């Protein structure tokens, strides 16, 4: 089970966007990277074409390493590590290390 899922609230713990809070837009398991809304913004120049009649310079979010983000604890709103626990019925659930609260669904 992956510790990060699309839609999770995370806080950036290192880098130029340290302290920023955002929602995960995508997770790349092979590269161990996540894309967070409003974090690691870069400019991208797009040439006008038939598919894109509006060319120009756009702001895009670029992926950052998932070691630089922590999931926001649902109980106190601070960053926390995540533990995967096995329940009695055999299913797995993500749990906050700080408070023991279940994360997500």
What value does the mean pLDDT take over residues 77-86?
Answer: 94
Give the predicted TM-score (pTM) of the model: 0.85
Give the percent of the chain with pLDDT over 70. Answer: 99
Nearest to 21 by CA among 33, 29, 32, 10: 10
Strands of the 21-28 sheet, one edge to the other: 64-65, 33-36, 21-28, 9-12, 69-72, 79-80
Domain that holds residue 40: 9-74
Q: For the domain that residue 57 is a member of, what is the CATH number?
A: 2.30.30.30
Q: Kindly give, in sequence order, each residue whose CB lies less than 8 Å from that of residue 65, ignoring residues fewer than 6 positions away.
A: 32, 33
Does a structural domain hold residue 46?
A: yes
Domain count, the chain: 1
Over residues 69-98, mean pLDDT: 94
88 belongs to a structural domain: no
């Amino acid at each position: 089970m992956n510790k990060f899922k699309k839609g999770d609230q995370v806080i950036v713990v290192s880098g130029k966007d340290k302290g920023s809070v955002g929602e995960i837009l995508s997770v790349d398991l092979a590269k161990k990277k996540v894309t967070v809304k409003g974090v690691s913004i870069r400019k991208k120049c797009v040439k006008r074409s038939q598919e894109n009649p509006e060319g120009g310079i756009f702001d895009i979010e670029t992926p950052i390493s998932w070691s630089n983000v922590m999931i926001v604890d649902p109980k106190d709103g601070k960053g926390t590590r995540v533990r995967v626990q096995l329940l009695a019925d055999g299913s797995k659930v993500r749990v906050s290390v700080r408070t023991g609260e279940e994360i997500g669904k």
